[in-house]
Amino acid sequence: MTTLLRRSQLSRRHIALGAEFEQIGDTLLVSNYGSSEETAQAKSLALIDLSTLPRTGFKGAGATTWATSQGVKIPQHPNLALLQKDQSLVVRLSHHELLVLSDIDALSTQIDRLDSTAVGMQTYKLPRADSHCWLAVTGSQAAEMFSKVCGVDLRPHKFANNAVAQTSVAKASAIVIRHDLGTTSCFYILTDVSAAEFLWDCLLDAMLEYDGGPVGVMSMRELAAEG
C-alpha cells in the first residue's frame, strides 16, 4: 500500500524554484533550493514554507484549564507564545483559545498527544493543520520589510520575542508570532489556506528591494544552532 505524503499548497511554486524536499514522517518539507548561500540569505531576509509541519488548536471556556491538566504550560496573557519542554510552541490567542505549533524538526510529541486525548468540558479541537498555512520570515531586514505590508510595528524594540499580533499581512488576516532562531529574528505567519499562494507571492514581491528570497528549513536549523 502506497502512503500519500502531505504536501504544501505551495508545492508547485517550490518545484518551479528548484526545491529539494525532505520527508518528515508522512509530510514533505522544502530542505533547500540548491544554493550554498541560503543561511546567509536567512540572516538577511528570507521566506520559508512550514505548512506541512504539525499544528493544532483548542478553543472554549474550558480550553486553558483542560490544557493545563495535560501538562501544557500556558502563556500568562493573550497574544503571547511560550516554548514548551518538547520545543513545541503554545500561542495564547485569547483567554479561551490556544494554538500549538511543532518545532521545525517535527520532533515534539505534545501535538499528537493532545490531539489523541479526549478534551474536557467546554473545550473544542481546531484542526489548524487543515485550516491555516504556516510561513516564516527571517532576517535582520524582516521588520523593515513588514512595514510595507503590515500595520503592526514589528521592530525588535516594539515587538518582543514571543509576542503575537492578530492583524493583516498584505490585506490577508493573519497571526504573526515572533520566535527568534538564536540571534536571528524570525516571524511565523499563519493565515487561511485559501490565501497561501497570494501571501507567498506578496511577501516575495515585498522582499525584492531588500534582495530577500525563499530558503528551506535547513537554513533555519543552522540559525537555531548558532544561538
62 domain residue, yes or no: yes
- The residues near 24 (Cβ < 8 Å, ≥ 6 apart) are 52, 53, 105, 106
Does residue 201 fall inside a structural domain? yes
User: In whole angstroms, how large is the CA radius of gyration of the chain?
Assistant: 17
> Which residues have CB under 8 Å from 69's CB, separation 6+?
120
- Residue 83 falls within a domain, yes or no? yes
What domain range is 197 assigned to?
Answer: 53-214
227: in domain: no
pLDDT tens profile 43-64: 999 999 999 999 999 999 999 9
Asked if residue 10 belongs to a domain, the reply is: no
Alpha carbons 82 and 44: distance in angstroms, whole number: 25
- The answer to whether position 61 is within a domain reads yes
Q: How many residues does the chain have?
A: 227
CATH code of the domain covering residue 96:
3.30.1360.120
The 8-class DSSP code of residue 60 comes to S
Q: Which residue, 221, 189, 227, 226, is CA-closest to 103?
A: 221
Count of the separate structural domains present in the chain: 1
Closest to 41 in 3D by CA, of 213, 181, 192? 213
User: Which residues, listed in sequence order, are joined to residue 135 by a DSSP beta bridge?
Assistant: 49, 189
Residues 92-140 have pLDDT tens digits of: 999 999 999 999 999 999 999 999 999 999 999 999 998 999 999 999 9
Q: Is residue 12 one of the residues assigned to a domain?
A: no
